[in-house]
Amino acid sequence: MLSNYIDLEKGILENYTENVIRRASDMLNFYQDNEALEKMIKNGNPTIYEVYAVTHEGGGELSYAITILHPGKVGNEYFMTKGHYHEKRDRGELYIGLKGNGLLLMQKGEEIRWIEMERGKIVYVPPYFAHRSINTGNGNFVFLAIYPGDAGHDYGSIAEKGFAKIVIEENGNYAVKDNPRW
């Protein structure tokens, strides 16, 4: 497929070839406040984020995906994606903000960066950096990601330890804090 459409208002990608819906129950142990997460699971198990992708898996090819990250918090921690390294660590990625507000958290060894995302902003995720998105706004945070077809997703080490920083709400704003489990 050589061309496609995104509905920029709703963040809906046409003709996607893969999609993933992550609910609260898919995020066990990702947040500090497990009790708050369990309560949320019992109270309807809301969707945290949705991904719609067009994939081309060969080396040298490019895949792309829209993520719709819903607004909300688990305890005082904002809704976020699981986060991953690329299986092939030397594969970079481009993120383009389409709607809403968020942060892109990136980490390579002890080096950690976070960049605010908004409509029209392009962020480069260099090779070797794990990356996670966080919705710090009140509405959906929607972005487009473009990545090498053979990058792959490695969730293992992030699922175990998380990132060195967490993003919480403090006095109505976001605050980036040290992860106590790190």
DSSP E strand stretches across the chain? 6-7, 12-13, 18-23, 47-54, 62-69, 73-74, 77-78, 93-99, 102-108, 111-117, 122-125, 130-135, 141-148, 165-170, 173-178
125 vs 171, beta carbon nearer ligand PAN:
125
- Shortest Å distance, C-beta 65 to ligand PAN: 4
CB atoms within 10 A of CB 42: 10
| Contact indicator for 59, 150 with CB cutoff of 8 Å | yes
Element (H, E) at 159: helix 156-161
CB closer to ligand PAN out of 32 and 102: 102
Task: Examine residue 83 and tell whether it contacts ligand PAN (CB under 6 A).
Answer: yes
> Could you give phi then psi for residue 91, rounded to 5 degrees?
-100, 125
> Residue 82 in contact with residue 158, Cβ under 8 Å?
yes
Distance CA 101, CA 181 (A): 26
Segment near ligand PAN (CB under 6 A), from 34-42, 100-108, 116-124, 147-155?
147-155
Residue 133 binding target from Zn ion, ligand PAN, none, CB below 5 to 8 Å by type: ligand PAN
Q: Which stretch binds ligand PAN (CB under 6 A): 6-14, 36-44, 75-83, 166-174?
A: 75-83
Bridge-partner residues for 168, per DSSP? 77, 175
Using the rule CB under 6 A, is 81 a contact of ligand PAN? yes
80 near ligand PAN, judged by CB under 6 A: no
Binding mask 8-47 for ligand PAN (x = CB under 6 A): ----------------------------------------
Structure tokens at 164: 């060195």
Residue from 67, 101, 107, 140 in contact with ligand PAN (CB under 6 A): 67
- As measured in angstroms, the least distance from the Cβ of 111 to Zn ion is 17
Q: Does 147 bind ligand PAN (CB under 6 A)?
A: yes
Edge-first strand order for the sheet with 18-23 is 18-23, 47-54, 62-69, 141-148, 93-99, 122-125
Q: Which residues bind Zn ion (CB under 5 A)?
A: 93
| Interface ranges with ligand PAN (CB under 6 A) | 51, 65, 67, 81-84, 93, 131, 133, 145, 147, 151, 153
